[in-house]
Amino acid sequence: MTKKTIFITGASSGIGKATAIYFGQKGWNVAATMRELTKEQTSDFEKYPSITIFKLDVTDKESIEKAVSDILQKFSQIDVLFNNAGYSLAGAFEATTDEQIRKQFETNLFGVMNVTRAMLPHFRNKKSGIILNTTSSGGLLTFPLYSVYNSTKWALEGFMEALQYELKSFNIVVKNIEPATVKSEFVNNISFVSNPDYDHYAQKVQHNTLAGYKNAPTPGVVAKIVYTAATDNRSKLRYPATPQARVAFFLRWLLPLKIFNNMVASGVEKELHNK
């Protein structure tokens, strides 16, 4: 049987890296793409012969075209696209600049759109394909100080939910992978903006939010869900990818929005008024 191939964005660390290694161990060809091909980013892949590294910045259309063409040249076909690259802008909305917001959308939304568009002719020609996307629990729920990040992931959820209709007749399936907090470089790479008028609120809330990462699952937990989504032959759109995400989605389904929102706020606003 021919080996299947997965094309992953943002494979230099975290969920993308763990997924590349997991699929490599399962015998898949893996096109692990990343912005920088430094020794530090690539050395962990050296012991996996089925993983090949390609350079790709999702905000750069030329680099997308080149990566897709190089991957197809190497593997002849791609079975699964995993749109995973992303980062978070955080802090009070009023403190964010237009440039910071656009950059956040360029990566988390427009980058995914551009990579997906570049892959569709290939998937249509072979009359099959699976498009997986790392959205977030924050793509269906909201959290204080994450209004811009949440809006990119809500947009991604909506975009992919709508896209699935028009791709169905080409046998192209869309699936969203939805983790809550995961222990990766994500938390270290949060681009945090501040405004003195919000400092009292923002510092406490961000402190409490980051405390939630202490017991967060590893990226390997998400990689297994990605593998399930790639191989279960189901046309299911949403895959909550960590236990915390499953609980949060259940409570959101169960509770009136106002109560759910108060619960989210009290979780991260605790001790806010203590000296």
Q: Which residues are catalytic?
A: 149
Query: Which residues bind to ligand NAP, rule: CB under 6 A?
Result: 9-10, 12-16, 34-36, 56-59, 84-87, 107, 111, 134, 136, 179, 181-182, 184-186, 189, 219
Whether residue 132 contacts residue 243, with contact meaning beta carbons closer than 8 Å, is answered with: no
36 versus 46: smaller Cβ distance to ligand NAP: 36
CB of 9 to ligand NAP, least distance (A): 6
- Enumerate the β-bridge partners of residue 135: none
171 versus 221: smaller Cβ distance to ligand NAP: 221
CB of 192 to ligand NAP, least distance (A): 14
CB atoms within 10 A of CB 146: 23
Write out the DSSP string of 43-103. Answer: GGGTT-TTEEEEE--TT-HHHHHHHHHHHHHHHS--SEEEE-----EEE-GGG--HHHHHH
CB of 169 to ligand NAP, least distance (A): 29
Rounded CA separation 15/90 (Å): 20
34 versus 167: smaller Cβ distance to ligand NAP: 34
171 versus 187: smaller Cβ distance to ligand NAP: 187
Decide the pairing of beta strands 238-240 and 172-178. Answer: parallel
CB of 209 to ligand NAP, least distance (A): 10
Rounded CA separation 231/79 (Å): 11
112 versus 193: smaller Cβ distance to ligand NAP: 112
Q: How far is CA 176 from CA 51, 97, 111, 140, in A?
A: 23, 29, 16, 11
- What does the longest C-alpha to C-alpha distance in the chain come to? 65
Token couple for 225: 């869900």
CB of 62 to ligand NAP, least distance (A): 13
Closest-CA residue to 145 (of 226, 205, 66): 205
